[in-house]
Chains A and B, each alone.
Chain A
Amino acid sequence: MSRLLRRLHGNGSDTDGALAVPGRALLWLIGAFWVLLLPQWDRLPVWLLTTCVLLAGWRWLSQLGRIRLPGRVVRTLIMVALIATYLVTVNGHFTVDTAASFFVIAVALKWLETRSERDYYVLFFILTYLATVNFLFEQGIFWTLLNLAGVLMLLIGLQVLNAPELPHAFALGWRRLGGMFLKSLPIVVLLFLFFPRLEPLWSVPLVSGAAKTGISDSMAPGDISSLAQSSERAFRVSFGGGIPASADRYWRGLILDRFEGERWSQHQRTPVRPPGRVLSDGGVGELQPGEYDVLLDPTGQRWAFALDNSTAVSDNVEAADWGLFHFRRPADTPVRYRLARTSAVPNVSALSETMERRFLQLPPTGNPRARALARELQRQSASSGELVETLLARFRDNPYYYTLRPPVMPENGVDTLLFDAMRGFCAHYAGATTFVLRAAGVPARVVVGYQGGELGAGGDYLIVRQYDAHAWVEAWLPETGWTRIDPTAAIAPSRIQSGLREAVAEEGSFLENNWASPQRYGNLALLQWASLQLDKVNYQWQRWVVGYQGQSQMDLMSRLPGNIGLKDLGYITAGLVAVVLLVIGLVAAWRQRSLLAQDSVMRLLVRWRRELGRAGIPLEEGQTPLQIAERVAHHAPQAGALARSFAQTLNNHYYGGLSPDKPGRRRQTLMRLRRLLVSHKKALKHPGSTKTQG
């Protein structure tokens, strides 16, 4: 027996060789890695993703024994190569984005070194933090679930690591973890609600420095038509009171007032500021009539989108010139902000000379025919307003086309558009209109932003997508101040009334390059419905869960009875933790009591020994029941038989191999032992022979 055991165990310890990590645990880890990499897929460079596949595959093959893990030299070479590539691609721009890819590189390299349990834990920690970082990029409900699934897989991996040969570890693991999660869920929810949301402790780098789809701070004629191919969401808006009519939904983003022959840009760029602390206050409480909440998807830019004549309500936006708004920190994560519309008060104080010069700026040469047209218009019209009307009438009455497939207009683009091609997108017409107005002496500027938007599921909020991007014109009229002029509305009224889809329906060019977008298939009602429902779930998630921060927590607390402040929240949280620990302690104590009650057989044994002690029969530590019985038989023969059968019953109970927890069996044994003990006690008390009390 001992030999056999020795051999078995000798072998057992020999196999603890180079790869001490159990294969299944490793598989879970690799799986979790892939799941947690998914939210990063569009952010990570292809070479990095490929490297991850290869290195994780290498590790797995070596687990199977197909190939060996690389030696120190090869490992160092791989490391140097990867880090060099990384440094070249990052090129000094440090953001969370680049930090995340460094993270991924670290994990990828670690695969080649995962030999011991400790390495496994290192990977576990890195991957858990990767899940955390993922939340900075993606906060949609499905990404959240995916991330949580990844973390769950990591935990399962740990379970497997700690109990490698457990049968049915899979099922047991899921059930145990599932139970654990379910039990802890209410506490997590309470903590989430009550944990005091602190102000950011220090300022942190931008999440992403990469360019995002969206409007940019300069505009060449083709720019916006390329945006029109994207159905990505730009922002969503909830309104206090009614949703304004489609023709009024001009979301002003920024003003382009400088023309350099082809491209419109900003005279004064939006001032760049080092990113400060994250300000999460997006306005709290019910939306008042006229107020509206915008939930902007990350743009990485500082400009906010607002309707005409708005004022800032929430703290995270500040008013800039000409009714525009800027964020205090670039929108690197989804940002919610609140604005309110005010009744329009026309600002008709005359333009200063500097301003007038700025809004009349044109390059000295180029587009001679457009300039001639401007001069003619100027001659015909008595006022600026009349001039504008004449120009719009020209667009309305002549065969100008609104198209997503405009011809290329390389030189004198304004002339080509107005007199030859007569086909263009909003950016073309806005640029040309501004040009003509300026040439005619009317101060004018291009405004870029979005126009329109689609109603979300339930019709209570608005979804604005990238293809709603729009450019229009504002002209200074002495009577009304800055006035919106939209040449697109004159050429293709359906674009303004019902959106791009309708406007280009005849052409069939709506999202023609974007076959994967559900918006492309407007005629599939079910698909549209599903897509909108998904968006609604996500919108609610973003507003109420993701947006549950500082002010909104205070707002919720102010609705609860009692005046709960930040400090009280701290106390509540501490109390909550204390209560949970207390409950766990009580449960454990209760279990112990039931354990003690359960082992009544053990208590009978203790009672037996006590009685024997009282009867003066000497006992030694560690004697087995049978040995004790023999001693009883020696000192008190009249009780010997009883003692032996008591001991035998005990032995059967403990070593009999029968399941000790079968209740019927247990009860029987207990009864028998009790009976024996009583008779035994009697026998001890009434000695039938002389040989007692030795």
Chain B
Amino acid sequence: MAHSNRSNEVGIPVQWIGQRWRGWVDRRIPRSDAQQFMQRNIFILPTAMGLVFGLLLVVMLLTGINYQNSLIYLMTFLLGVVFVAAMHQTHKNLSGLKLTLVQVGDGHVGERIPFVFRGAADASDAIAIRLSLPESGATLSHVLAHETADLVLMTKGERRGYLLPERVRVETRFPFGLLKAWSWIRPVSAAIVYPKPITPPEGHWLTADDAESSDASVSVAGQDQAEFRPWRQGDLSQRVQWKRYARSGEMVIADWEGEQGSPSWLDFEAFPGVDLELRLSYLVAQVMERSKAQDSFGLRLPGIRIEPDCGPAHTASCLRELAVFGLPTTQWMGSKSRDNAL
């Protein structure tokens, strides 16, 4: 999604070949959160070092021929066969590995966002597997035979909304780094990138939020109006009426959450005239501030209304709405990809 800015200055044939190549690869490797690597979808080529190694073998062979030295012949053949064996080994290393996207991270624009893949190896080890994106660095992990391990890909959230890597390159150069075997996984599940939080300047904004918050402050201050109920698991300790607990030994919660008019609303309309993205950033900052203070709050966006609540899940859903506000659902859904495994 995010990397449509592929070099435009490249000549048209190159571009055309690149497109055809990508199209071909995409047909071979459909969008899926799980991918089993096998001969059909593994590519293998020598690395730059592998090419130099090939050159070295030629030089060694020439030395052997010119000095008529059998042992140099022998070593040349040995290293040549080792190179072929390494080809087999490198391929086998990736082949049989299965990657499943098990957790998609979240974060703000500019932060590094993790994609956690679970790798399951078959009877052979998958060593030094490198997950990478064109724009982000690689991590190196090992999955030993018959075991599973989590491989984490960190990618940078460039803009708010869904973050769905076009192709995650899965590569291995084990054992000697002379050959690289690679494939791609094209996940379906997108990460969410929240707008960057920007604290709105104080005092400028006179809105319904203020009107209602004065109302709320009364109700919070006057604890008599609050509903009391017994303590339930998950209640915040600040809400426990400790004085009452000291008197009677009962854990009682002052529950003003359900009350009308008491929560504070965060409103998209609160910042008239401000750019959409900046508004969202303001709202994100406010959501995080409230959430940190463990206040209850609701969120109103054009066409979207999240009832006041508090807690991490609530915060997450508010941030999520802010992240994807005004964006179409993930783009791959429109594309014509074939039936997937999972």
Interface residues of A (CB under 8 A from B): 1-2, 5-6, 9-10, 12-13, 117, 121, 125, 128-129, 131-133, 135-136, 139, 144, 147-148, 151, 155, 158-159, 161-166, 172-173, 176-177, 180-181, 183-184, 187-188, 191-192, 195, 197-198, 200-204, 207, 277-280, 333, 545-550, 580-581, 584, 587-589, 591-592, 595-596, 598-599, 602, 605-606, 609-610, 620-622, 624-625, 654-655, 657, 659-661
How many whole Å from A340's CB to the nearest CB in chain B? 23
Whether B78 contacts A188 by the Cβ 8 Å rule is: yes
B122 partner residues in chain A, CB cutoff 8 A: 595, 598, 661
A188 touches B188 (CB 8 A): no
B241 within 8 A of A: no
Supposing A195-B77, A581-B84, A606-B339 touch, asked if A9 and B139 sit within 8 A by C-beta, the answer is yes
Residue B154 at the chain A interface, CB threshold 8 Å: yes
Quick one: which of A136, A144, A195 contacts B67, CB cutoff 8 A?
Answer: A136
Which residues from chain A contact B69 at a C-beta distance below 8 Å?
135-136, 139, 333, 546
- In the complex, the answer to whether A207 meets B67 with C-beta atoms within 8 Å is yes
Contact yes or no, B127 A166, CB < 8 A:
yes
Q: Which of B8-16, B34-42, B271-279 contacts A (4 or more CB under 8 A)?
A: B34-42
Q: How far is the CB of B144 from chain A (nearest CB, A)?
A: 8
Please give me the residue from chain A that is nearest to B105 by CB atom: A2
- Which residue of chain B has its CB nearest to the CB of A139? B71
Residue of B nearest to A573 (CB): B77
Tell whether B264 is near chain A: CB-to-CB under 8 Å.
Answer: no
Q: Which of B88-96, B211-219, B250-258, B290-298 contacts A (4 or more CB under 8 A)?
A: B88-96
The answer to whether A135 and B72 touch across the interface, beta carbons within 8 angstroms, is yes
Contact of B77 among A6, A139, A188, A548 (CB under 8 A): A188
Cross-interface CB contact of A547 among B62, B70, B139, B152, cutoff 8 Å: B70
The reply to whether B112 and A162 form a contact with Cβ atoms under 8 Å apart is no
Least CB separation from A613: chain B residue? B339
In whole angstroms, how far apart are the Cα atoms of A580 and B82 in the complex?
A: 12
Identify the B interface with A (CB < 8 A).
31-34, 36, 38-40, 49, 52-53, 56, 59-60, 62-82, 84-89, 91-92, 95-96, 100, 102-103, 105-107, 111-114, 116, 118, 120, 122-123, 125, 127-128, 137, 139-140, 142, 146-148, 152, 154, 173-178, 188-189, 332-333, 337, 339-342
What's the nearest-Cβ distance from chain A to residue B171, in Å?
Answer: 12
Contact indicator A591/B92 (Cβ below 8 Å) = yes
Distance (whole angstroms) from the CB of A406 to the closest CB of chain B:
42
- The answer to whether B339 and A609 touch across the interface, beta carbons within 8 angstroms, is yes
User: Known contacts A606-B341, A659-B146; is A155 also within 8 Å of B82 by CB?
Assistant: yes
Q: Are A548 and B70 within 8 A (Cβ)? A: yes
Can you name 25 A-B residue pairings with CB atoms under 8 Å?
Answer: A2-B113, A5-B114, A6-B107, A9-B154, A12-B139, A129-B59, A132-B63, A136-B63, A136-B67, A155-B82, A158-B175, A166-B127, A181-B78, A184-B82, A188-B81, A195-B77, A197-B68, A198-B65, A278-B68, A546-B70, A599-B36, A621-B340, A622-B332, A655-B102, A659-B146
**How close is A614's CB to chain B, nearest CB, in angstroms?**
13
Complex alpha-carbon distance, A151 and B74, angstroms: 13
Cβ-defined contact, A549 with B70, below 8 A: yes
Known pairs A9-B152, A158-B176, A158-B177; A201 contacts B62 (CB<8 A): yes
Which residues of B sit under 8 angstroms from A587, Cβ to Cβ?
Answer: 88
Residue pair B33, A622 in contact (C-beta under 8 Å): yes
Q: How far is the CB of A105 from chain B (nearest CB, A)?
A: 19
Cβ–Cβ contact B88 & A6, under 8 A: no
Q: How far is the CA of A621 from the CA of B230 in the complex (A)?
A: 45
| Closest 10 pairs (CB-CB, A-B) | A622-B188, A280-B68, A184-B81, A2-B105, A163-B128, A135-B71, A191-B77, A592-B39, A158-B176, A5-B114
Contact A584 B39 (CB under 8 A): no
Instruction: Give which listed residue, A202, A546, A598, A621, contacts B71 with CB less than 8 A.
Output: A546
In the complex, chain A residues whose CB is within 8 Å of the CB of B176? 155, 158-159, 162
Q: Which residues of B contact A622 (CB under 8 A)?
A: 31-33, 188-189, 332, 340, 342
Asked if A6 meets B139 with Cβ closer than 8 Å, knowing A584-B88, A621-B333, the reply is no
A204–B64 Cα distance when bound, in Å, is 11
CB pair B81–A6 under 8 Å, yes or no, is: no
What A residues does B152 contact at CB under 8 A?
Answer: 5, 9
With CB as the reference atom, state the residue of chain A lying closest to B175: A159
Which residue of B is nearest A172, CB measured? Answer: B125
Residues from chain A with a CB closer than 8 A to the CB of B34 are 654
Contact with B89, one of A128, A133, A176, A598 (Cβ below 8 angstroms): A176
Inter-chain contact B67/A333, CB cutoff 8 Å: yes
- Majority secondary structure of chain A interface residues (helix, strand, loop or mixed): helix
The residues of A that contact B38 with a CB separation of less than 8 Å are 591-592, 595-596
User: Contacting A204 at CB < 8 Å: which of B67, B77, B89?
Assistant: B67
Out of B67, B127, B177, B188, name the residue touching A278 (CB < 8 Å).
B67
A2 CB contact (under 8 Å) in B39, B107, B123, B147:
B107
Q: Are B112 and A9 in contact (CB under 8 A)?
A: yes
Contact B188 A621 (CB under 8 A): yes
A581 vs B341: C-alpha distance in the bound complex, in angstroms? 32
What is the bound-complex CA distance between A176 and B176, given in angstroms?
12
Min Cβ gap B5→A in Å is 24
The chain A residue sitting closest to B112, CB to CB, is A6
**Given the complex of chains A and B, what is the CA–CA distance between A192 and B96 in angstroms?**
34
Complex: A660 Cα to B121 Cα, angstroms: 10
Contact A580 B112 (CB under 8 A): no
List the A side residues contacting B78 at CB < 8 Å.
Answer: 148, 151, 181, 184, 188
- Given A125-B56, A588-B91, A550–B146 Cβ distance below 8 Å? no
Nearest-CB residue, chain A, relative to B125: A172
Looking at B78, B95, B111, B333, which has the most chain A CB atoms within 10 Å of its CB? B78
Q: How far is the CA of A158 from the CA of B49 in the complex (A)?
A: 11
**For residue A181, which residues in chain B have a CB less than 8 angstroms away from its CB?**
78, 82
Decide: A621 and B332 in contact? CB cutoff 8 A: yes
Q: Please, which residues of chain A bring their CB within 8 A of the CB of B123?
A: 661
| Residue numbers in A under 8 Å from B77 (CB-CB) | 187-188, 191-192, 195
Given known A6-B112, A135-B71, contact A125–B52 (CB-CB < 8 A) = yes
State the CA gap A184–B85 with chains docked (Å): 7
Contact at A132–B31, with CB atoms within 8 Å? Answer: no
B42 CB → nearest A CB, Å: 9
Q: Contact between A595 and B96 (Cβ–Cβ < 8 Å)?
A: yes
Pick from B75, B147, B189 the residue with the most CB of A within 10 Å. Answer: B75
Closest B residue, CB atoms, query A160: B175
| B53 and A195 contact, CB distance less than 8 A | no
A602 to B, closest residue via Cβ: B341
Q: How far is the CB of A233 from chain B (nearest CB, A)?
A: 19
Chain A hits for B62, CB < 8 A: 201
Given contacts A5-B114, A136-B67, A151-B79, A162 and B174 within 8 Å (CB-CB)? yes
Q: Report A52 CB to chain B, min CB distance, Å.
A: 22
Q: Which residues of B contact A132 (CB under 8 A)?
A: 60, 63-64, 72, 75-76
Residues in chain A near residue B175, CB distance under 8 A: 155, 158-159, 162-163, 173, 176-177
Q: Are A200 and B154 in contact (CB under 8 A)?
A: no
CB distance A6 to B85 under 8 Å?
no
Distance, CA A191 to CA B123, complexed state (A): 31
Given contacts A159-B174, A184-B81, A602-B341, contact A277 B66 (CB under 8 A): yes
When the two chains form their complex, are residues A2 and B106 in contact, meaning their CB atoms are under 8 A apart? yes
A526 to B53, CA, bound (A): 46
Give CA–CA (A284, B1) in the complex, Å: 71
Asked if A162 meets B128 with Cβ closer than 8 Å, knowing A2-B114, A125-B53, the reply is yes
Chain B residue nearest to A279 (CB atoms) is: B68
A624 contacts B342, C-beta separation under 8 Å: yes
Cα A195 to Cα B34 in complex, Å, equals: 46
Task: Look across to chain A and name the residue whose beta carbon is closest to the beta carbon of B52.
Answer: A125
Least Cβ distance of A583 to chain B in Å? 10
User: Is there contact, CB below 8 Å, between A625 and B342?
Assistant: yes
Nearest residue, chain B, Cβ from A125:
B56
Within the complex, what minimum Cβ distance (angstroms) separates A371 from chain B?
52
Smallest CB gap from B95: residue in A: A591
A184 to B76, CA, bound (A): 13
Assess the A151–B75 pair: CB atoms within 8 A: yes
Nearest A-chain residue to B114, judged by Cβ: A5
